[in-house]
């Protein structure tokens, strides 16, 4: 039995823009699907790659 998980992410710089949804993958627990809600376009990526990309983006020193 599989459990489907979906999380929705708001766009904070322009609330009028489409939200993103992150879905659990249907058969691979290492993968997630990122969906652009407005278009329905989906991207399947490794969950660890997405986590690493977010961590790297948060670690940039913008004001240093």
pTM confidence score: 0.84
Judge whether 6 and 21 are in contact, CB under 8 Å.
yes
The whole-number pLDDT of residue 38 equals 93
Over residues 21-46, the mean pLDDT reads: 96
Closest to 19 (Cα-Cα) out of 32, 7, 10: 10
The whole-number pLDDT of residue 1 equals 61
The whole-number pLDDT of residue 64 equals 62
The whole-number pLDDT of residue 28 equals 96
């Amino acid at each position: 039995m599989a459990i489907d998980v979906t999380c929705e992410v708001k766009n904070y710089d322009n609330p009028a823009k489409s939200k993103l949804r992150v879905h659990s993958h249907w058969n691979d627990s290492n993968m997630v699907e990122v969906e652009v809600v407005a278009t329905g376009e989906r991207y399947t990526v490794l969950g660890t790659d997405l986590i690493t990309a977010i961590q790297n983006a948060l670690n940039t020193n913008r004001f240093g």
